[in-house]
Structure 1
Amino acid sequence: MPYLMRVELPDVPGSLGRVAGAIGEAGGDIEAIEIVEKRDGFAVDDVLLEMAPGTMPDSVVSACSILDGVSVLWINRYAAGGNLFLDLEVVESLTEDPSTARDRLVDLLPMAFKVDWAARIRPDGDTVKVVHATDAAPSEFDLGTISSPTRLPGDEVYVECAAPFAGDVVLMGRRGGPEFLDSELARLEHLLGLAITISRD
């Protein structure tokens, strides 16, 4: 079973190598790494892992956490397949059929952002209409005006974010965390803008 781990580490040469070595010694096998954010001398990376039989994710977390300056922010099972889905792949998929780009983007957001669900909703007076959503998305939404990419309070199960999308709103939910980073909100805004442009071509 693959796991996705988000780790913060010093943004200096050798840090990632130390983390990779600790993961290997604890019984994890790295399938892919994505740099999510760089800030204040630290990098935040998403690491896709395959665990050796009988290895618990806690052992990988412990092995990484004892490294100087390294913090494991989050780890969970990752059911979206055996690789990380890059933004370029999202854009390429949208251009295959521009007429469906807006809905296709919603379908691809869970893989691109490692979230459990995504939805496109349309405010309609005091209610909202679900325009398009992935299978795991809730059927009811309660949110105020969204004028820019925003973290939402979420609930005891999900952390959530939302962004405006050409008169609609796109929401994403991630079970148990981690919180959405500023870089993820910026990526979301960029991809939404590209989807709007592609759908008008």
Structure 2
Amino acid sequence: MILRLRVSFPDRPGALGQVARVLGTLGADILQVTVLERETGRAVDDFIVSWPGGPDAATVRDRLAVVPGMRVEGVWPTRETPGAAPDYDLLRHVAADPSRAFPTLVDAVPDLVGAEWAVALASGEGGLVHRSWQAPAVLDEDGGLAGVKFGDLTPLRPAVLASGPYRLMSLPVPGAALHVVLARTEGPPFHRAEMDRANRVVEIVSIIAASA
């Protein structure tokens, strides 16, 4: 099983090594480490690990808790391939067929940030324009999901949101009267580093689409 593990720990020499040692004792093979934050004396890193028959999140938290200052913010399954460049692949497909720029974006952008699915919504009323194949079937044509109206959750600037079981990220598409909303039900809320990465890709896609 491939899992993503988000850990917050004191930003001091040797702390990352302590995390790696604890994960090793639990049988995890660390495939990739991504630095999300280094501020106010703390670090937040995402670990992609291979974990055959991996322990549950509570076990991971308990084992890491023995290290002073460690905090597990989330453990969840991921489709990510360590060492891959999904953002470059997405942009290559968009450049090859700009007429499908936004459907391609919606289908591929979840893999950039460990999201489960994405939708494109028309600005204003929030009508559904396109959805990735992973998006739940209960998503209706008005952009509603489990009592949530996405049209009410799409501000003019990128934002991280939460509603019910969903962690949401809302990204306006410049010049297209669209918003892209990404969601996941497992793991922590989207980090601002994830939001910044996805937003840069959305901006580049909008430039390619406008120039076609």
Question: Where on the TM-score scale, by shorter chain, does this alignment land: which range?
Answer: 0.7 to 0.9
Q: Where in structure 2 are the equivalents of 1:1-201 lying within 5 Å?
A: 1-53=1-53, 55-57=54-56, 58-78=58-78, 80-83=79-82, 86=85, 87-123=87-123, 127-137=125-135, 138-139=139-140, 140-141=143-144, 142=149, 143-144=151-152, 146-155=155-164, 157-165=165-173, 166-201=176-211
Cα shift at 1:88 = 4.1
Give yes or no for contact 2:107–2:133 (8 Å, CA) kept in 1.
no
- Counterpart AA for 2:167: V
Greater CA deviation, 184-193 or 91-100? 91-100
| Change in CA separation of 1:84 and 1:150 when aligned onto 2, cut-off 3 Å | farther
The SS at the match of 2:126 is strand
Contact 1:64 1:70 in 2 (8 A): yes
RMSD value, Cα? 2.2
Which ranges of structure 2 fall in alignment gaps of 5 or more residues?
A: none
Task: State how far apart, in whole Å, the 1-side matches of 2:80 and 2:34 are.
Answer: 15
> 1:10 Cα shift?
2.3
State the one-letter code of the partner of 2:162.
P
Letter in 1 for 2:65: S
- Tell me by how many angstroms 1:36 deviates: 2.1
Q: What is the CA–CA distance in structure 2 between the aligned matches of 1:150 and 1:23, rounded to whole Å? A: 32
Q: CA deviation at 1:5?
A: 0.8
On the 8 A contact 1:4/1:77 being kept in 2, the answer is: yes
Q: Do the aligned partners of 2:35 and 2:45 also contact (CA within 8 Å) in 1?
A: yes
Identity of aligned residues (%): 27
Cα distance in 1, alignment partners of residues 160 and 81 from structure 2: 28
SS of the residue aligned with 2:163?
Answer: coil
C-alpha distance after superposition, 1:146-165 (max 9, x if no partner): 2101122321x211121211
Q: Cα–Cα, structure 1 residues 61 and 95, in superposed 2: closer, same or farther, change >3 Å?
A: farther
Q: CA deviation at 1:43?
A: 2.0
- 8 Å Cα contact 1:84/1:111 also seen in 2: no
Inter-CA distance 89–182: structure 2 relative to 1 (3 Å threshold): same
Q: TM-score under structure 1 normalisation?
A: 0.85
- The SS at the match of 1:186 is helix
Q: May I ask how many residue pairs the two structures share in their alignment?
A: 196
Cα gap change, 1:11/1:93 in structure 2, threshold over 3 Å: closer, same or farther?
A: farther
Shift of 1:22: 0.8
135-144 vs 80-89, which moves further: 80-89
Q: Which runs of 5+ in 1 are unaligned?
A: none
